[in-house]
């Protein structure tokens, strides 16, 4: 069937990241929550 739903669901935006601490950003990166931002989808 392929992918379904929004591929950026669960991803963080630049605005959200701007309010986070360094450790929070590193945790989000490990959890894959920055994938869309880092690949230019946001």
Q: Where are the domains of the chain?
A: 11-42
- The pTM for the full model equals 0.74
The pLDDT tens digits for 1-42 are 555 677 778 999 999 999 999 999 999 999 999 999 999 987
* HSE-CB for 39 with a 13 A CA cutoff: 10
Phi and psi angles of residue 41, each rounded to the nearest 5 degrees, phi first: -80, -15
């Amino acid at each position: 069937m392929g992918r379904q739903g929004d591929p950026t669901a669960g991803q963080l935006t630049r605005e959200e990241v701007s309010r986070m601490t360094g450790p929070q950003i590193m945790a989000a990166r490990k959890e894959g929550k920055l994938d869309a931002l880092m690949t230019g989808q946001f």
